[in-house]
Structure 1
Amino acid sequence: MSQVLGSYKIPFHLHWSEFCLRSLAMPQAWVETTEQRNQLHRIEGKYAVGKALWAPKYDENGRKNASWTLLPQIAVGDIILHLVDGKFTGISIVDQTARDFRCLEGTRWSKYKDCYLVTLKNYQAFAQPLDPRILFQPPYRERAQQIVESESRLFYTKALTMQEAYLTRLPPPLIRLILDAYHLNLPVLAQIGGQEVTRAVDPNRGEYEADPTSIIREAAGRMQAAGYVMEVRDLASILIALTVRPFAIFSGRSGTGKTALTRLLAEVFGFYYLNVAVNPAWTDPTDLVGYISPTTHQPVQGALHDLLIRHVDDAILCLDEFNTAKVEHYFSDFMSAMETRQREFWGPLPALDQLARAQPSQEDRLQLPRRLRVIGTMNFDDSVQSLTPRLLDRATVFEFQPVTPEQILLSDHPERYGLAWDSLKDQPSLRWPFDGIPPLPDTVRAWFLDQLRQLEPGLRASRGELSPRLVVEFGSALALGNGVHDLFGATPEAAWMALLDQLLLTRVLPKFQGASRQGDLRALVRLAGVLTGSTPPEEPERWVAFLHDQGPSSHYPRTLAKIATLLTSAEEDGYAVYWQ
């Protein structure tokens, strides 16, 4: 017996949520074997060692090379160990997966024409080149022999000689051998190899480079100094959400700081920022990215033109009042691009690809920033469009509450009106605290699976049913949050609960907006029962009283408070209201 889920078959002995969590895979490591001698393009420029990997797709006879065909298997966040001119020289991180590439002219491979190109980042050179032949001598020889007997496609042969292959695998046992033999402190490799990670501080960037918790605290401190009131854990939740999925919705009344926060994030982290006021007349994606005029055959600029011509990697786009037009219409390409991505931020955008084909010059070509984060701000009144379930399923919703008089009076500068933007300009930009999704630790995975087994039956067949994609993204958020758990709770488990509370509030409950069907409302009550450990009543007229009888909860307080709001509005108005 197996349960069919999309194109996957789930073994009967696995709960479907456990199967989904297995996709939170550990990054892989690879060895690039190359030469720099007499190859200027490998010494400097954008194809240098540590900047890119590239290789032909086929040899001169049209056959595939086993080593070259590994390039499309490389994923964002994977680690590359560079073996240059017979010595290990450094490591780098994969920034972008393989794409088609015209082989470089003037090189020995130019005759092959069609190549793969993988771009890299964060190249870290070793203090001195490391000789791999050390691994083939005592006391490491026996381990090296055992590894090559059990693993395939390594950079050396069973005879303990160097392999003539451009790209080879670096499995965990070989990683541990290399770290031991050369006494290396490389946390990114140690984590893949299964060793305890020792955090190292980058002397060129300061302590924030190695400590996401410190980065987030520093970011919150700078915002507060500028006059913006926000809890550190709420900032951490937003940063985690924008790392897992690059689209969020900030909802709330006018003046609650939604748009200001989008700009603050860009200022603090040094990202390019574009604020676009959505036009109610927008009807399709060309309003954002532009199009080719059918009469003049010339490009017509869209609202994102200033963003697309920048050719930057990191950017924040604020779609202000983004539901004044039908979001499903003008944002449809972006919604699809979020689904076709793998470990990239965005998949292809058809309207943008059409424009790119019409602009052959690389310098003039419109390009979406590789790490673009989109935030839509929204109010609720009679002039705006409703949000569809499909859109809400792809967004993280953060609700902004008005600042209280007490918060204003207790701030450092209660007399200040607005934000002190100048206070941010003289400070160096902070690094984004999360560089990819780490693997989910076994202790967190076990706890999360236990929670899912309780939550999933109650939400089944309702608007809030947990999809495989949502389970994976919850797991990703927990993996990130576990690394900064001090911001969420006094103990790791308390932090996990606080994170799951926030995830249910921002990813599941918004889908119940407008719900009036008894099945949906009953699912909310079942969810409240699971979170409180109580048995809810069967009679709908007793549901609101049941929630009030539970009193303040130390576990999942935000989710339970919102469930009470949804059920109260359903009882009074006939349909559930999420937005307040």
Structure 2
Amino acid sequence: MRPEWTDPTGLTGYYDVLSNRYMVPTFLEAVLLATAHRRSPVFVVLDEMNLARVEYYFSDVLSAIETEEALQLHAHGVPLEGSNGTTVPAALPLPPNLYIAGTINIDETTNPVSDKVLDRAVVIDMSAVDLPGFLAGLEAREPALKDARAACENHLVAVQGIMIAHGLGIGYRVAEEAVRYHAFSAAHLAAGAAGVTDDLMVQKVLVKLRGGERQRPLLTGLSKVLDGLPRSQDFIAKLTADLDEFGSFQASR
């Protein structure tokens, strides 16, 4: 999805008067494909749906799903030639073999999703993270990362255990980057493993922290599990000092 979407044309297309064709985006192409091959399931995944307001660009599709009426594409009396070479009718029912899934992120860069959308969807919370399982799988795929995994796994898992109680945590992307940086450092920088872990904790984990008095146990817990990592300790001490003085802390302030 794109943050500037305010209408459904990014999904369902539009008539281009200059080329006298109907512009067919990927979503509509999937609908046409499912319509043409009704015995085969067609899956559409809409990534980061709430970068824009879902209600603005997805309302026509939601209405078609709920009412089981055809999706209105254009007002011409005859089908139009599509930009991908297919024929695009004026109205197109959503076929039963079309399956639509989407992802949303909840942070300061996204829009809230209204009850109108949630009522028409099945919400699956995928915030649970299995770091040991992920790291084991990473090593199984790339055995050369064994030492790098061993160098940072304990700290990653310990920090994850503290952060999860506060609705935070370390995602798979950060965990993999930590392991790969350890491997790179061992091969090219000759830096100590503890120092690399210390740098990574500050640069990839602690730098995202913010909160108020309720998060004081978070800082206390992180200080304990990161004992022996001086940069991390200094960083947490600064956040704690901000909390004491201002009643809140934000690492990027």
| TM-score relative to the length of structure 1 | 0.21
Higher helix share: 2
| TM-score relative to the length of structure 2 | 0.45
